[in-house]
Amino acid sequence: MKKTALIILGTLAAVAASAFPATTAAHGDEPDDAAMAIAKALKNPLVVKGSARLTIIHVQKGCHVWSSSGKGTPSAGVKVVLKRGQRLTVLNQDLDTHKLVRLAGPKVALGKALSMNDRVTVAFRKPGVYKLRTKKMETPGMPEVETMGADNILAMLVVVR
């Protein structure tokens, strides 16, 4: 009877631990597999069409996400559909400093690293599919902020027609 009770209690504890993870990451933890995190972010992205303004905002779970002025649910992934020559503005309202990085697609000037309240406007002059992400940069003096789970890797797919 005691052995059965211990097995049941152990199983319940394992189920509770997986259903309600108590993982609180120190600010700055990034998933081990960036490619998998980017693919996951782009699986069900926030979709924006036409010249757009995206904002990087701070959240408790995952640390930061893309937001688009109340259009759609904030997400770690965003798909932007533009016509040639249209622009995309990115505003950083997160505590971290973020740098846009091109992973694939035509070359494009992505600007400087964005500290909090900085913005960059990118003009997409060549048609194609651009795969971008943000890279967190070291911010000296940045206070540690507790967040739940690993930090999101912000991914962006820009389709220019």
Q: pLDDT tens, position by position, for the chain (161 residues)?
A: 555 544 554 444 444 333 333 333 444 555 567 888 889 888 889 899 988 899 999 999 999 999 998 778 999 999 999 999 999 999 999 989 999 999 999 999 999 999 999 999 999 999 999 999 999 998 777 777 788 988 899 999 999 99
- Global model pTM greater than 0.85: no
Query: What are the domain boundaries of the chain?
Result: 27-160
The CATH number of domain 27-160, selected from 3.40.50.880, 1.10.287.610, 2.60.40.420, 3.40.1010.20: 2.60.40.420
Query: Is the backbone of residue 85 left (phi > 0), alpha (psi -120 to 50) or beta?
Result: left
Query: Cα angle at 127 between 124 and 133, to 5 degrees?
Result: 55
The token pair that represents 88 in the structure block? 């995309």
Query: Is the backbone of residue 93 left (phi > 0), alpha (psi -120 to 50) or beta?
Result: alpha
What pLDDT score was predicted for residue 41?
85
Query: Cα angle at 61 between 38 and 114, to 5 degrees?
Result: 60
Handedness of CA 45, 46, 52, 54 (dihedral sign): negative
**DSSP notation for the chain:** -HHHHHHHHHHHHHHHHHHS---EEPTT---S-HHHHHHHHTTS-EEEESSEEEEEEE-SBSSEEEE-TTSS--BSEEEEEE-TT-EEEEEEESSSEEEEEEEESS-----S-B-TT-EEEEE--S-EEEEEEEEEE--TTPPP--EESSPPPPEEEEEE-
What pLDDT score was predicted for residue 25?
42
CB 51 within 8 A of CB 88: yes
